[in-house]
Amino acid sequence: MGREAAVEAFLNPREPLDAFPLPAWADPKTAFVAMRENFAERRKARMAAERDKSEAAQKEFRMQQQEAQRESRRQGFEGQGWWFGRLMHSQAPLREKMVLFWHDHFATSIQKVKQPALLLKQNQLFREHAFGDFKALTHAMLRDPAMMLYLDTQASVKGKPNENFAREVMELFTLGEGNYSENDIKEAARAFTGYRFDRREGEVVHVRFQWDGGEKTVFGKTGNFNGDQVIDLLFEQEAASEYLPKKLWKYFVEDEAPEPIVKRLAETFRESGFKVESVLREIFSSRAFYDSTVVRNQIKSPIQFLIQMSRELELDELAAGHVTAAQVQLGQVLFLPPNVAGWDWGKAWINTNTLLSRYNIAGIVTKGAESVDEQEAGGDDMMMEMAKQGNGPMARMMARGTQSWKGPDYEKLAPRALREDPERLVDSLIARLFQAELGSKQRAIFVDYAKAKKGAIFTNHEVAELCHLMMSTPHYQLA
């Protein structure tokens, strides 16, 4: 397949959008029915608790609240697992990578939204629009329940406009700092009033009497604008052509986007009517994308680190406990961006602690960090020790995950015949883990290590140790 055909295959994946069935509680057909019932139930309980002040009634109410919180947490974990599984197994990798891009761009956190089903609904929306019309997606975000709860449009009404969404839609979503005035935000916030997510119907409506229908002036234009009209105005601004392409270049290529490239991409973006697909096509066909200074010089995000590792080791799954605990330790938890600006990428992922955590997670996943005795005993003392240090749910999950973890199939990854020759074994593992040639220093050290390890036979555990060593390197953090 030529380069062009490959790019087209990535941009036009055949995997259906619903290829991975959602958890029952997030199924769009039933989620809102459940949410409505839940809502009604809690309302009833709250009213009962307000009428009846007795200790028993209050206790009953508290227990009900706690149960609801527990269920929401459970769903949260399950939802994270669902997306992680999809990232691992998807036949549409570029689309999933774009879903992660949108999740970071339109950052929305479960911490505030609290309803996992809404986050999964938003996640599916990102998938539908993955390569599509950015303007249409921005319009859709105005009516996305999770975003509405996260940026307080739900609570923004005529007379008391909340400026949160108005500010972020300009600063973080479409234009970037310096391309709007404080007054534009104030006026736009009035236009964004009256949007309501009706929890009982599961629908977003624009309530006319809560909308400030008065005259507003935004970007020098005056009218009785509503939210959609303000979004249209945003896309008339010159800055809207550059903002997203620049961010896409940074996401896919390098930490800084060269000015001339941004200009070219911006032109393409505007001419195509803000089609993300056309920008991506241009990025992937550009000479600069294949330049030796940018290839394998990107620091993997924690999610990319975990997904790539699983794919390289041909794992069907990671232990459920590892998935969340590893995300927490490495600093990127799905559905839990730190704030509305999303995650800090690149070098910000790495500090002494997260780097050692990456090495140690690789040790757990490869099973290369276990001693032979531990393996024979079927236990895993070191990891148990690690888990014992914390008493929180994370530590417990980690421990449970580790106990049952089988590890990669090394017979398949490194067939016995290959192990006869340490050089060939190392080269094969380098190709698998780094997808490129490594510096001669690194290769020499790996080969020396393999030779030092090789006794009469090269055991599976020794292959695991070799893989672990190869992953415990600065080079492995790059993609």
Q: Which residues bind other proteins (CB under 8 A)?
A: 49, 53, 58, 62, 111-112, 255, 297-299, 328-329, 331, 338-339, 341, 344, 346-348, 350-356, 359-360, 363, 368-374, 382, 385-386, 389-391, 394, 439, 441-442, 444-445, 448-449, 451-452, 461, 465, 468-469, 472-475, 477-478
> Closest distance between other proteins and the C-beta of residue 162, in Å?
13
d(CA 368, CA 468): 5
If we measure between CA atoms, which residue out of 248, 251, 256 comes closest to residue 279? Answer: 248
> Closest distance between other proteins and the C-beta of residue 292, in Å?
12
Give the single-character DSSP code of 170.
I
Q: Cβ atoms within 10 A of the Cβ of 6, count?
A: 11
- Residue closer to other proteins (CB basis): 122 or 442: 442
> Closest distance between other proteins and the C-beta of residue 369, in Å?
5
> Closest distance between other proteins and the C-beta of residue 363, in Å?
6
Query: Are residues 335 and 78 in contact, defined by beta-carbon separation less than 8 angstroms?
Result: no
> Closest distance between other proteins and the C-beta of residue 464, in Å?
8
- Residue closer to other proteins (CB basis): 140 or 313: 313
- Residue closer to other proteins (CB basis): 168 or 282: 168
- Residue closer to other proteins (CB basis): 227 or 422: 422
> Closest distance between other proteins and the C-beta of residue 255, in Å?
8
- Residue closer to other proteins (CB basis): 174 or 241: 174
Residue 166's φ and ψ, nearest 5 degrees, are -60, -40
Q: Which residues contact 291 (CB under 8 A, 6 or more apart)?
A: none
> Closest distance between other proteins and the C-beta of residue 184, in Å?
18
- Residue closer to other proteins (CB basis): 204 or 447: 447
- Residue closer to other proteins (CB basis): 168 or 312: 168
**How is residue 182 written in tokens?**
């404080």
Helix (H) or strand (E) holding 206: strand 203-206
- Residue closer to other proteins (CB basis): 124 or 473: 473
Residue 204's φ and ψ, nearest 5 degrees, are -105, 130
Give the single-character DSSP code of 171.
I
> Closest distance between other proteins and the C-beta of residue 57, in Å?
10
**How is residue 284 written in tokens?**
């992937």
d(CA 409, CA 314): 8
> Closest distance between other proteins and the C-beta of residue 316, in Å?
24
> Closest distance between other proteins and the C-beta of residue 205, in Å?
27
d(CA 160, CA 169): 19
The one-letter amino acid code at 444 reads: A
> Closest distance between other proteins and the C-beta of residue 359, in Å?
5
d(CA 174, CA 182): 16
Query: Are residues 324 and 80 in contact, defined by beta-carbon separation less than 8 angstroms?
Result: yes
- Residue closer to other proteins (CB basis): 390 or 415: 390
d(CA 270, CA 323): 39
Q: Which residues contact 14 (CB under 8 A, 6 or more apart)?
A: 91, 92
Give the single-character DSSP code of 196.
E
- Residue closer to other proteins (CB basis): 148 or 369: 369
Q: Which residues contact 165 (CB under 8 A, 6 or more apart)?
A: 142, 147, 148, 151, 152, 153, 156, 189, 192
Query: In 3-state terms, what secondary structure has residue 284?
Result: helix
If we measure between CA atoms, which residue out of 329, 172, 298 comes closest to residue 243? Answer: 172
- Residue closer to other proteins (CB basis): 287 or 347: 347
